[in-house]
Amino acid sequence: MSAGMGTGGSTSAGADTVMGAGMGAGPGADLDARSALGAGPPVRTGRRRPTRRTLLRLRLVLLVTTVVTALASLSALQIVHIGIDGMGTMTTPAILEIAAAHKALAEADRAAIESFRSGGSRLTGFRPGEEYQNQIGIANQSLAQVAEDNAVGEAGSRTVQLVEGMLVVYTGLIGQADAQQRRDGAGLSVADLWYASGIMHGRPSGILAELDRLRTMHERALDRRLSSGWTHPLVISAAAVPVATLLTVLLIAQVFIRRRFRRHLAPPLLAATVLLASVSVAMVAVGHNSHSRLGESRAALRQAVAARQAEAQDASVRRRLVLVRLLSGTCGAAVDACGPTVERFGTASRGLVARAVRPAPVNEIIESRRVNDRMRAARIATPIPFLLAAAFLAVIAMIQWGFHPRIDEYRFQRR
């Protein structure tokens, strides 16, 4: 049985919508609160006492709903804020630093091999050289930063430790190649160089491969957050449902007052409704803005990483070409005479050509600034939670203000 407009009766069992229940109200149709909760069969009572109690209850419902909505909205806002913060202070910087470390290490290896080929006397050794040392230094700094910014938990920190461990082995072997060459010229020093370069570039578990893996882990985490993190339906509905409930209840309250008292809608309640509606719209706008800025930041990040990768790739190609020449010289003939591992390396390097002009070095500062600017723009401005809280407080005040005269009217009717 559903309640219709203006009909006299409605039962709690039949009313399955909030709106329906509201609409069904009419003079003489009040039901006892207890029966409405299903405690017994519907009982019709008079109109005298319940009205004030009903008003009080209604006000209570509104206040409670407002408080709950406020808490839900503020929590949702906080979740979003923390999410964006995490992306901005950990995941995104980590990705940039990993790409920077990757590039520095590829350059270091190239520098070591090039200086071996070009320089080197028995007295001075092949002097891995300043560029090698600088790049290793840059890589170590970046790795330390990655360890701090690691955003993928223990798997990430173990990978960083793995890379650091392997880097120790790598630099040791380069040092050994240097010492060996001082002692007796090429021969074993080429082998050391070869082993070292293998640690750096080996797939699937060389240093650079591990860094790629780590970067991919972070990128996946970032993309997961962006696509389902703060825009997660759960978070949105968590904020939206209480607001919708509150708006609904506010509307019901105003309709009730109008019907009951045959007065105009209480202006404060109307004001509260309008305020609430604008707050909702504002929240959606803030959310939309954040989302767009995050998207832009992600795109800028992709570009920054791609630029660094291109440089690393170029360094790798150059290193290959020099290494092939070095190895052919050592084995006396072609690279094929160096055993199956080198032969495969030589085959894979055939046809590679270093670019005549090296790509313009990435201006790392400008790139990361761009990424960070977008990220900063995506953040929820600090005043917003306070404004939101203030808005809800205003709504509460308006509810009080709206109900007070009505409740007051009935005050002396109680006995």
Note whether 154 binds another protein by CB under 8 A.
yes
- Residues 339-368 binding another protein (CB under 8 A) are 339-342, 344
Binds another protein (CB under 8 A): choice among 134, 140, 144, 162: 162
Q: Judge whether 122 and 181 are in contact, CB under 8 Å.
A: yes
33/387 with CB nearer another protein: 33
Q: Judge whether 26 and 10 are in contact, CB under 8 Å.
A: no
Residue 121 β-bridge partners: 125
Task: Write down the least CB distance from residue 146 to another protein, Å.
Answer: 15
Contact segment (CB under 8 A) with another protein among 107-115, 180-188, 264-272, 385-393 equals: 180-188
Note whether 56 binds another protein by CB under 8 A.
no
Task: Write down the least CB distance from residue 58 to another protein, Å.
Answer: 6
Task: Write down the least CB distance from residue 318 to another protein, Å.
Answer: 20
Task: Write down the least CB distance from residue 73 to another protein, Å.
Answer: 9
Note whether 252 binds another protein by CB under 8 A.
yes
Q: Which DSSP string do the residues of 17-72 spell out, in sequence order?
A: SHHHHHHT--TT--B-HHHHTTSSS--B--SSTHHHHHHHHHHHHHHHHHHHHHHH
Q: Within 10 A of 210 (CB to CB), how many other CB atoms are there?
A: 18
85/130 with CB nearer another protein: 85
Q: Is 415 helix (H, G, I), strand (E, B) or coil?
A: coil
Q: Is 125 helix (H, G, I), strand (E, B) or coil?
A: strand
Alpha-carbon gap, residue 396 to 379, rounded angstroms: 28
85/409 with CB nearer another protein: 85
Alpha-carbon gap, residue 391 to 273, rounded angstroms: 11
Alpha-carbon gap, residue 155 to 129, rounded angstroms: 34
Task: Write down the least CB distance from residue 37 to another protein, Å.
Answer: 6
Binds another protein (CB under 8 A): choice among 5, 27, 37, 41: 37
Task: Write down the least CB distance from residue 192 to another protein, Å.
Answer: 9
Q: Which DSSP string do the residues of 246-257 spell out, in sequence order?
A: HHHHHHHHHHHH
76/304 with CB nearer another protein: 76
Q: Is 231 exposed, middle or buried (0-12, 13-18, 19+ CB in 10 A)?
A: middle
Contact segment (CB under 8 A) with another protein among 72-80, 115-123, 280-288, 354-362 equals: 72-80
Task: Write down the least CB distance from residue 263 to another protein, Å.
Answer: 18
Binds another protein (CB under 8 A): choice among 40, 41, 204, 351: 204
Helix ranges, 119-232 (H): 129-149, 153-184, 188-201, 207-224
Binds another protein (CB under 8 A): choice among 131, 164, 364, 373: 164
Task: Write down the least CB distance from residue 237 to another protein, Å.
Answer: 7
Instruction: Give the count of alpha carbons within 13 A of 132, CB side only.
Output: 18
Binds another protein (CB under 8 A): choice among 161, 278, 292, 347: 161
Q: Tell me the site size for another protein, rule CB under 8 A.
A: 84
Note whether 174 binds another protein by CB under 8 A.
no
Among 89, 130, 2, 62, which residue's Cα sits nearest to residue 397?
62
68/348 with CB nearer another protein: 68
Binds another protein (CB under 8 A): choice among 144, 191, 270, 317: 191
Note whether 187 binds another protein by CB under 8 A.
yes
225/319 with CB nearer another protein: 225
Alpha-carbon gap, residue 28 to 225, rounded angstroms: 55
Note whether 41 binds another protein by CB under 8 A.
no
Q: Within 10 A of 373 (CB to CB), how many other CB atoms are there?
A: 14
Alpha-carbon gap, residue 267 to 337, rounded angstroms: 94
188/317 with CB nearer another protein: 188
Task: Read off the tokens for 212.
Answer: 């790629």
Q: Within 10 A of 412 (CB to CB), how many other CB atoms are there?
A: 7
Alpha-carbon gap, residue 50 to 33, rounded angstroms: 9
Binding track, positions 287-306, relative to another protein; x by CB under 8 A = --------------------
Q: Within 10 A of 120 (CB to CB), how many other CB atoms are there?
A: 19
Note whether 242 binds another protein by CB under 8 A.
yes
Alpha-carbon gap, residue 152 to 214, rounded angstroms: 9
Task: Write down the least CB distance from residue 140 to another protein, Å.
Answer: 13
245/313 with CB nearer another protein: 245
Binds another protein (CB under 8 A): choice among 120, 128, 229, 268: 229
